[in-house]
Amino acid sequence: MKHYLWMLMGVTMISVAQPPIAIGLHGGAGTIERGAMSAELEETYRAALDKAITTGHERLLEGQSGLDVVVSVIQMMEDSPLFNAGRGAVYTWDGAHELDASIMHGKHLDAGAIAGVRTVKSPIALARAVMEHSPHVMLAGSGAEDFAIDQGFEPVSSDYFATERRREALKAHKANEQAGLRPEADHKFGTVGVVVLDQAGNLVAGTSTGGMTGKRWGRIGDSPIIGAGTYADNRSCAVSATGHGEFFIRHTVARDICARMQFAGVTLQEAASATVMEALVEAGGEGGVIAVDRTGSVVLVFNTPGMYRASIDAKGHKLLGIYGENDSQ
């Protein structure tokens, strides 16, 4: 917190302390290694991460609510073909797009989620609508799309989500699977997420994804699952996850981190590391999380070679990275 002191006509005046604010975001974790992408593409990713984190932090400074900031920053990433969410979503086995998202507010544990939608431009906006304008927590498939229309969302065609990069990824995935080879490295990574502490002291988390390349049978991962891919509780922290969703669901990763803080009294760093670097690693689960606590501390923890990530904590310290632990600025 910052206090400002002025002398005005011999009278000492002290401003009201600015409440702590903080923000963290991720754009997916996985086999992201230095030298595996061109310098131009790397710079494009860095610029996108920097713009998103800076915009979000500025909006928090202006006093915008955590919900508004989480949704608006995730929408920036949903609109970018760089990430596996919204416009850049991966393809299912049948060549379609099925998108998932969730959001949670830590004050009263309000939450909303949608899964398997094909005609919704901004899944995170619809997840918020579910939270605020329905008696439910999660809606899926055609029912979620009907609700979207009732809420005034204009449907988009599948062409909106189409990108050549993701189309080629599906071809490679199918070829590898049919040849009995290991799937391409990015087939299950690329989810986006944002966590914030706003000026009102509220913790909010949101996550949005296109899921897993080549997914079938209506597969749904952790991103729309409250407690697995997304969780926020003002008593502890806000968490958004990215990685191999089946493991994050089994280990209720997002809630586990918050529970370790709430009931074991450990720090955010200790809680996130125990879950991601110990429990998940022992189980064979790959991925990472971003998390923020009520003091404005932010952690970015992953057990993969890289994670697209950025943060600005309560002290104003800014971090931006793509590769391993020492890759920051």
Q: Which residues are catalytic?
A: 191
220: which 2 tokens?
Answer: 């749904």
CA dihedral 101, 238, 132, 20 (to 10 degrees): -130
What is the edge-to-edge ordering of all strands in the sheet holding 230-232?
Answer: 230-232, 237-243, 287-293, 298-302
How far CA 14 is from CA of 17, 74, 234, 271, in Å, comes to: 9, 37, 28, 37
Question: What's the CA gap between 261 and 237, in Å, rounded?
Answer: 8
Question: What's the CA gap between 106 and 289, in Å, rounded?
Answer: 17
Amino acid of residue 245: G
Backbone angles phi, psi at 233, to 5 degrees: -150, 120
How far CA 223 is from CA of 151, 210, 293, in Å, comes to: 22, 9, 20
Q: What is the DSSP letter of 281?
A: H
